[in-house]
Structure formats: structure tokens, C-alpha cells
A and B are shown apart, each in its own frame.
Chain A
Amino acid sequence: MKSGWLLRVLTNALGVLLALFFLLPLLWFVFAPFNERATLSVRIPEAFSLHNFEVVLNNDTAIRSLVQNSLLISGGVMILTALIATLAAYGFSRGSLPGRSIITYVLLLFSSVVTGTASLVPIFVLIYNIGMFNTYQGVILTLVGGMLPTSIFIMRDFIDSLPRSYEEAAMVSGASSLQIVRDIVFPTLRPGVLVVAVLAFVNGWGAFLTPLILIRNAAMRPAAIAFYQFYSDEGTPNIPLISAYAVLYTLPVLILYLIINARYGFRFFGGIKQ
């Protein structure tokens, strides 16, 4: 019995140690933005200051990247991905296409290739040749292409779990196809669509390599790249400014999550007796 007690203490101690290890960066993220002399080590600032934010907010390029370029790209990726994934997954789930489960699995396999670094050169050539180089559309389409397989897979799983009897009940109740989509299919799909939409938004928000390669115009680059605004010409990062910009960079995603969670909730409410 005594060794069991000792083991519990040891495992708990190890757990605390691991937790601290992973919490340190977050702790840095809380303190550094308010410290004018922040370094890469975690330190409680002697005086809390908003000076870092002041400088960052006055950097027009960085702010435009955030509120315009990043929002445009992420919003576009979110809307297109959610729309296409929902329609495609609905077809895959409810339709009678032969081999449809194989197709979804192959798609999932491809998803790791399309966004992968390995395909960047062909993607660059493709986007350049169809005249979408240096455009938001080029970045959006590339990112959507990368997101779609996973999104379709998630949505298909979700739609598979929705009983067909919802639609069938509406059919025998006398609803037309359009009424069924509007009144039954879309509302019941909404929790799944939200998950995919948020996933796509976050993915577009965090995308770095694709916009770096496909957009040369500095004024059009998203926030993920605009971090370079806070590097000196010699390539030395300005840690205090970067930490403040990072906070601003995180806010939209956090707010999006909070709004959706408060308004709809990431849950599924059942009306089917299992």
C-alpha cells in the first residue's frame, strides 16, 4: 500500500512538471506584451505598460494586414470551405455514387499532399499561369483546396450520423425539396457546418507559407507574414513588439470562438430516440 502512495505522488509531481513546461509559453504571452523590455524568458514586468501596443497600432502595414488582408483571406477560406464541404459531403453521405466511401478516404489521403510543402512549386506555377499570382483569390483557392478533403470528411461523418428520418419525415409531411433543405437539412447541419467553418477560418488565419509564396505585394500580405514588420533590417526580432502584435493576432480567433459558442454552442441537441 505504501508503494502505491509513493507512486501517486511521483506521477502527480511529473504531471505538474509537464504542465509547467507547456504553460510557460502561455505565461510569457501574458506578461511580455506589457513589458517594454521583454525578452524570450518569462519575467513579470517591473512596470506594466501599453507602449508596445501603441507602436504596433501605429504601424499601418501591420494593422492593415490584420484587419484587412487576414480577414479577407480567412473569411473567404471559411465561407468557401464550409459551402463546398457541406454540399459535397451531403452528396457523399446521402447520394448513391458508387465507391463514395473510397473517394472520401482517398481525398483525405490527398489532403496531406495538397497543402504540403512538396506541392508548393507546382501550385506556384499553376497559380502564376492562371493569372492569380499576387491576388487574394489565388491564396484563398489554394488554402480551400487544402482544407476541403478534411472538411468533407468531417462533414460526411456528421451527416452520416444524422438520421435520414428527419428528411423523410419532412417528405411525408408534404415538404418540397427546397423546404426540406431550408427548414430541416440546414438547421440540423448547422453544428457541423460551424465546426468546419471555424476550422477553416483558423487554418486560413494561421496560414504562412502559402501566402508568403503566392503574394509578393507587401501591402496584401496577411498578419502571419506581417510579423516581419517587427524585424530589423538585419533580421533581429523586436521581441516586445512581436509579443504585442501576437496578442492582437490571436484576438479575432478567440472572439469568433466565443461568439459562436455563446450563440450556437458546439454541441448537437438530439431529437431522436436511440
Chain B
Amino acid sequence: MASINLTQLRRHFGAVKAVDDISLAVDDGQFVALLGPSGCGKTTTLRMIAGLELPDAGTIQIGAKQVTALPPRDRDIAMVFQDYALYPHMTVAENVGYPLKVRGTASSEIRQRVQDVAKQLQIGHLLERRPAQLSGGQQQRVALARAVIHKAQVTLYDEPLSNLDTKLRLEARAFLKHLQREVGVTSIYVTHDQAEAMALADVIVVMNEGKILQVGSPKSIFQTPQNTFVAGFIGSPPMNLLECTIDGSVLRFTDGSRLPWQHALPTTARGTVTFGIRPEHVTIRPIDEPGTLPATLYVTQMLGGESLVVTHVGEQLVSVRLFTDEVPELPTRIGLAFDPARVFFYGADGNRLT
């Protein structure tokens, strides 16, 4: 096990700043998720830690060792690939045992450890098969087994669940978290699925356009997103973001509607700002109730244990999450009330105002 330190790491592909001077410290035993849309630099960052890609500038440290320019084999790492990359010509047992084989481990010991890992990952009955004879979920477990067998200091995951269907993905997610508890190895996990990052990680690193936008626990990332990008990326559906102008103690929205705001405003908030609130902190009121924002009903969606009401405020959409299994009968024109403690204001640069 080891900590990981990235310092001013940079990788540009021509004019594309894939990774743009990022620094990150990962503690020993932590499970860190790199989260962001495709092309945000998360996979390039992971590949640089793995040694499959060399940085243009900056340093990478694993434990006490500088590994910036070392080949992958000298970094003591394991990696799970998005496509699993199971060697098609080898059996499952040979695949899983390969990291031990290249280290010159005795074949009797390899057999024993493959058995042990296979048991732990519940693939003991598949050892003699070839990858092509396995289902997607089974292939995924074999790839995991190959990554944990040689007890590397660091395990890297490159979107390992993205090729599974929804049901299998949820299963694999729980399994992975359980495995992580047991093995407890320092891990970096790349994903574009915010729910996956929330569920698995101790720390989430939100990235966009080669930069780190916010680092924090899943709870802090969800509850206090530091900028509009994070606010709009985390949560399903994500936070409602509405442009408005502060006019004394009134918020004026783009469609001309006004919301009296008796609550405290950030000291730096003036002029045009972005008003952010999560769908679960909005409530639906009669249109004529004072202190509400008038909105037009767009659609209601029944999602099982909850309902999602999507409304229009001018051009902008506002989602409301209702924890009810009844689809509410709503008039076309409604008032929206916001929990003032849960409202965030973001400035013109997208950063949170405090």
C-alpha cells in the first residue's frame, strides 16, 4: 500500500490540453474516483499514473518512490481496463496467474494463489474456460482477479463497469466496494458516472477540460458544489441552475418574474448571478402564494418511489423531486418555493459566492 502524489502534472496532445497542471494527493488506502465527462483528462491522468503515458511536465510519486519516468513494470501497480483486456488465448486461470508468472513465481504457488483469488471473486468454476466463453459480468470479475492477485501497492480502474448492463453494474458496484473493504489497497477509479463515484469513493475528484474543479468526500461534493460545473454534473437530475439578477432584496429572473428574497445573500453577490438549488429542495405551491416563483408545468415523470416534475421558468427548466409514489395532479401554472438554506449563488465565473 502506498500514497500517491501528483505534482503539476501536464499532458498536452497538440493543442488539446488533456491534463493541465494538476496536483493531487491520495492517502494510503484511499479509494479515489476521478469523475468527469469524456475528454476531461481523467483517463490520461490514470494512464500517466500507470506509466502507459508519459507526462510533458510534473512528477508522480507512489509511496516514497519517484515513478514519473519509470516503465509500468517498475511501479508495482495493477490495472483494470475498460475492455477488460483478457488475453484471448489463455484460460481464466492463466489470465489471473499471469502477473505472478512474469514475476517468476513457482507454478505450484501460482496455482494456489489463483485458487484463493478465484474463490474470493467467485470464479472458481470458470478457471479452465477461455475469456470468449464468459459473460460480461464474469469477464469483469476475471479482470478484477488479475488485478488483485499480485497485491500491488496501487490499483487503477479505467471505467471497469461501463460495459455492463444496468443490473449487473449495480451488482458489480456493490461487489467492488465489498472487495475494496477486504483488500483495502490504494485505488484510483476513473468514471463518468457520478452515481458510481458517489457510491464507491472515499474521495471524489471532479475534472473538466484537464483541470481539477473540486476534491472532496462524496457528501461534500454533493452538498456544497463549489462551481456550476460540479453542481450541474453531480446528482440525478443535477442541480437546477437559473440565471437571475439581484435587485436589492428581489431576484429578477430572465423571464421577468420576481422572487422576493428576505434571506441573507453572499456578500460578494451583485448583478447577474446563477441561482442553484437541488430538485429535492424545491416544493410546489399554489401560483398565488406569496414568496414563490411562478412557473409553467412542462411534464411530470413517475419514477417508482418518487416523481419528477419538470417546470419552465421562462426559457429555463426547473426540476422538482417529489418523494411520493402518486403522480400529482397539478395545474399548469404553479409557484415554486425554495429551501433558503439549500440555495447556492454562483458568480459570473461559475464559482460559488460565499
Residues of chain A touching chain B, judged by Cβ–Cβ distance below 8 Å, are 163, 165-166, 168-176, 179, 183-184, 187-188, 190, 268-274
Given contacts A184-B87, A188-B88, contact A169 B163 (CB under 8 A): no
Bound: A187/B150 CA distance, A: 23
- Quick one: which of B78-113 are within 8 Å of A by CB? 78-79, 81-90, 98-99, 101-103
Contact of B85 among A174, A190, A272, A274 (CB under 8 A): A272
Contact of A165 among B51, B85, B89, B150 (CB under 8 A): B85
- Quick one: which of B112-165 are within 8 Å of A by CB? 130-132, 136, 139, 146, 150, 156, 163
Interface flag for B73 (CB, 8 Å): yes
Question: A169 and B73: CB pair below 8 A?
Answer: no
Given contacts A169-B79, A170-B98, A173-B78, contact A273 B73 (CB under 8 A): no
For the complex of A and B, the 4 pairs showing the least CB-CB separation, nearest first, are A271-B88, A271-B131, A165-B85, A169-B85
Which residues of chain B are within 8 angstroms of A175 by Cβ–Cβ distance? Answer: 73, 98, 102
Interface flag for B71 (CB, 8 Å): yes
Bound: A187/B95 CA distance, A: 13
Interface flag for B54 (CB, 8 Å): no
Bound: A271/B129 CA distance, A: 11
Question: B73 and A271: CB pair below 8 A?
Answer: no
Which residues of chain B are within 8 angstroms of A188 by Cβ–Cβ distance? Answer: 87-89
Minimum CB–CB distance for B152 against chain A, Å: 9
Interface flag for B204 (CB, 8 Å): no
Minimum CB–CB distance for B157 against chain A, Å: 12
Interface flag for B206 (CB, 8 Å): no
Contact of A172 among B77, B87, B131, B139 (CB under 8 A): B77
- Quick one: which of B39-84 are within 8 Å of A by CB? 50-52, 71-73, 75, 77-79, 81-84
Which residues of chain B are within 8 angstroms of A184 by Cβ–Cβ distance? Answer: 87
Given contacts A166-B87, A188-B88, A273-B139, contact A171 B102 (CB under 8 A): no
Q: What are 11 A-to-B residue pairs whose CB atoms are below 8 Å?
A: A165-B82, A168-B85, A174-B72, A174-B99, A174-B103, A176-B102, A188-B87, A268-B88, A272-B83, A272-B86, A273-B83
Minimum CB–CB distance for A157 against chain B, Å: 18
Which residues of chain A are within 8 angstroms of B130 by Cβ–Cβ distance? Answer: 269, 271
